[in-house]
Structure formats: structure tokens, C-alpha cells
Amino acid sequence: MTNQLKLKFSQISAFLFLISLGVLLAVLAEIPYGGWLQIPVLSVVWWLLIKMNLRSLKNCFAAGLIFGAGYFISALWWIYISLHDVGGMNAVLSCTAVVLLSSYMAIYFSIATLSISYFKINKLSGLVLSASWVLAEYLRGHIFTGFPWMGFSEAQVNGPFGAIAPYLGGLGCIFFTIWTSWQLLQVSKKPFFAFTGIVCLILGAHMLSYWHFTTPIGKPFSVKLIQGNFSPSFVFMPEGALQQIRFYSLNLSDTSADLIVAPETAFPWPTDNLPIETLNKLQQFANNTNSNLLFGAIGKQLNPSEVGEFSNRAIGLRPSAPAFVYDKSHLVPFGEFIPPGFNWFIKSFNVPLSNFSRGDKNQAPFQISLNGQLPINAVVTICYEDIFGDELATRIRNSSDEINLLINITNLAWFGMSQAPMQQLRLSQLRSLETGLPSLRSTNTGITAILGPDGKVLGQLNQFTQAILNQNLQAFTGKTLYVLWGNTPILTFSCLILLFGLYRNRYFL
């Protein structure tokens, strides 16, 4: 009986340690050089899972779930702010929603860690674990519309493997992060081979950063990004919405620039119900000053679908040219469309939500007219659309026009003073790395920023301030290997590794 109690106590201690490691990993992602620091912590996770001797797949799955839950609850707690503080949902129900979503995200971590128990520990273990993690993260980004937020890839913007992104995308960064953490565990057994492998891989990744797939095009052009800092509850009131419309209308047409951008739903009103002079004045300003304007609004569909008559829309006004329209394609579950059977959940909000219509996946880019220069073509994304790297790469690859710039307009006011804005900024940095293109981020409360083609922040505004960012930006042309091939190479390689691992372990049927 004493031995059984000791065993149970040991298991409970190990599970608590796993939760702590998950929390630590999420915290490390938020600090400088976090991508470097996550690697040794992951190594400790693998050591603990091996030490626990989890021969049962059920126990291994539970261990991975606990580790993942600790990670995602720490990383996604800001959803509580949107549900409770902004939406007025009951505190218990809000906490439950965060835990359930985090537990669902953790299932993919659990599936990936099963390889430690399912496959025998051998020379292939690091590769098999890395391949399992890649496939699990790919599924997390696609099942139920996908939510690939806070993977280990975006932390590599501040880590050793960010340079892998133009070649193999974020999933490639994940593969080498997991493999390196496993090799670090082998240093005590085979110090020379393990250490040499790690050093060579990091040096090789560093060398890749000197090879560029995109090149500058034309001269730098002037950019003006507007950050209004309006709270969601303020905009829910008619007088608040009108004040926000007046603010953005004034600042869009105040001083000229080659490109002026306002955030998602800068005009939180259906376009056909906006004050009649609003869009006309903005178009006249664009014509008179040779400025290009881009801003968010609520679109009214000419032929409403069965889903809804409105859309989350970006409108672009160009000098003496037809208006550009982009309707958001990848909608947020519960925020922009209601999954079947969840109307009861939406009714617990005190926030007006609706079912938006989806835009096409491959919409035309925003063509920015420049005086005496070739036009600049920009891919526009709204809200969290820029977290889906493969979708963005597909849009660039399939575009009939050469893409030179990425623009994301978003509104993260729903999540208050949390790490959510910084998390999305890192995702935008990863998208610039993957595509080799500069990015513009125009947000309501922050982080409004300008990114270079290497993902580096060239300029940004402080959060929760009403301010304008004025800066010149250089456009780029060309396609990275990731844009040309997408996730196909890393997914194919990962599948081949798993198939070979199955064959070696005599599980191949």
C-alpha cells in the first residue's frame, strides 16, 4: 500500500511539473529570445515523459493533455476578457469556455507526444516526434476552421530557426525546434554527436538567412497608419459609433500620404447607411492628393446569401479609380458566424453579433497607385486571417498580379491589456518571414506596426493611445520557396518519417 501511495504521489508530482512546464513555455514565448529559451524547456518535458515511463497510450495522452492545457490556458486566458469584461458573460461560464478551448487545443499536443510511448526510443525518436508535432499542428490549423494561435513557430521570430520560414514555413520552424530539443536531451548520452548536430543545424539556419528570395521594387513610399483607441462598449452605442466614424473620416482625409490605413471596422456601420457625404469626401480627397485609402467597414451584400447580408469588409479608395473591396473570408467562430447548435452560447453575450457572409478565398489584391511609379499590389487580411500562413501563401501564389506588400487591419480592443496583441504581432512577423514581404498592421488599440521583409519591426505605436504612425516603406517583389510550394515539402517529409517509423516498429500493416 505504501509503494502504491508513493507511486501515486510521484505521478501527481510529475503531472504538476508538466503543467508548470507548459505555463513556463507560454511565458517564455512573450520575452526576447523566447524561441531560444523554449528549446531547453521542451527538452525537460521530453525527459519527464520518458522518466514517467508511460507505457500506456492512455496515460501518455493524459500527460500530453495536462502539459498542453497548462500551456494554452496561460497563452489564451485573454479570451476571458472578451467574454466576461466586454461581453458580460457570467464569470464561471467565461472561465469554463477558456478551459474548454485550451483543452481542445491541448489535444493536438497530446496526439504529438503519443509518439514517445507508441514508438520505441531509438535513433529515429527525435525525427518521429518532430514529424508528429508538425502533423498535429497542421491539423490544429485546419480542423473546425482552424486556430493555429500560439504554436512554437511564431516564437522562432526571436529564436534560432526563424530563417527556416522562407523555405518551409512555420511548420518547418516547429520541426527543427522539436528536433533540437530532443537532441539536447541526448547530450548526456552521446555528447559529441548530439552537440555537433545541434550546432551544425543552428549555424546552417543562420546561413540560410543570408539568402533572399525577394528584392526591392521602385522607390520607398509614404505610409500613414491610424490608431483610434476606441473601446468596444463605446462603439456599441450609436453616439459612440458616430464619434468613431467622425474621427477616422477626419484623420483619413487630414494629411496626404501615398497610403493611409485605418483598422478593422473603423466605420462600424453598414456602408449603405453611412452619412452620405462620408465616402464621397474621402474619394474626393484621394483624387485631389493622389492618396490611397484603406479602412474597415461593415459591408452590405448585393445578393445576400443564406448566411447573412453583411460582411466584415475592407474598402480601398484610389485616385480616379474604382473602389477596392475585400470581404473577409476566414471568419471567427462565435464572433462572425455561429456554429450549428451554439445559439445558446451566443445569447449569453451582451454584444451584438451576427452571421457574416464569407468572401472568396482568392480575392484580387489592393492596387496602390503611386505617382510616376508602377502600382504596388497588396494582399489584404482582416483580423486573425494573417495567422493562417498556408492560406496567405496560396493567395500570393495564385494571384495574377505580383504581390509586393501585406496589409492586416484588425481590432484587438476586445482583449484588453493582455498579451494577445503581441502574440498577433509575432504571427505577422512570421508571415513576413515566410513571404519575404513587408507588412503593415493597422489596429484600433495596438499594436499598430510596420514590418520589414525579414519580420523586423521598423516602427510601431504604443498600445492604448490615439496616435498616427507616419513612415516611408520599401515594397518588394519575388516569391519565397514557401510561397511557391506551401506546406507540401514539410508535410511530405513528416509523413515519410512516420511511415518509416511505423515500419521499423513493425506496426506497418
Q: Which residues are catalytic?
A: 264, 328, 383
Residue position matching grid coordinates 511539473: 17
* Phi, psi angles (nearest 5°) of residue 121: -70, 115
For cell 494582399, the residue is 379
All three cell numbers of 52, joined, read 514517467
Handedness of CA 414, 420, 421, 426 (dihedral sign): negative
Report helix angle 34-51 to 57-76, nearest 10: 150
Among the listed residues 425, 423, 407, the one whose alpha carbon sits nearest the alpha carbon of residue 366: 407
* Radius of gyration of the chain, Cα coordinates, nearest whole angstrom: 24
**208: its cell numbers:** 540560410
Which one, of 499, 496, 494, lies nearest residue 171 by Cα?
Answer: 494
What is the C-alpha separation between 144 and 212, in angstroms, rounded? 35
Cα gap 45→298, rounded to integer Å:
46
Angle at 135 between CA 131 and CA 141, to 5 degrees: 145
Cell (9 digits) for 219:
522607390
d(CA 166, CA 162): 9
Please check whether residue 157 is in contact with residue 426, taking contact to mean a CB–CB distance below 8 angstroms: yes
- Find the length of the chain: 509
In this structure, the dihedral spanned by the alpha carbons of residues 125, 130, 135 and 136, taken in order and rounded to 10 degrees, is 90
- Distance between CA 177 and CA 198 in Å, rounded? 10
Q: Which long-range contacts (CB under 8 A, 24 or more apart) does 273-278 make?
A: 274/245, 275/245, 278/245, 278/249
Q: Helix, strand or coil for residue 380?
A: strand
24-28 long-range contacts, Cβ below 8 Å, gap at least 24?
A: 25/71, 26/70, 26/71, 26/72, 26/74, 26/75, 26/150, 27/74, 28/155
Place of cell 508535410: 491
Question: How far apart are the C-alpha atoms of 232 and 415, rounded to whole Å?
Answer: 10
State how far the Cα of 388 lies from the Cα of 331, in Å rounded to an integer.
Answer: 12
What dihedral do alpha carbons 499, 502, 504, 505 form, nearest 10°? 170
Separation between Cα atoms, residue 245 and residue 225, nearest integer Å: 16
Contact 468, 226 (CB under 8 A): yes
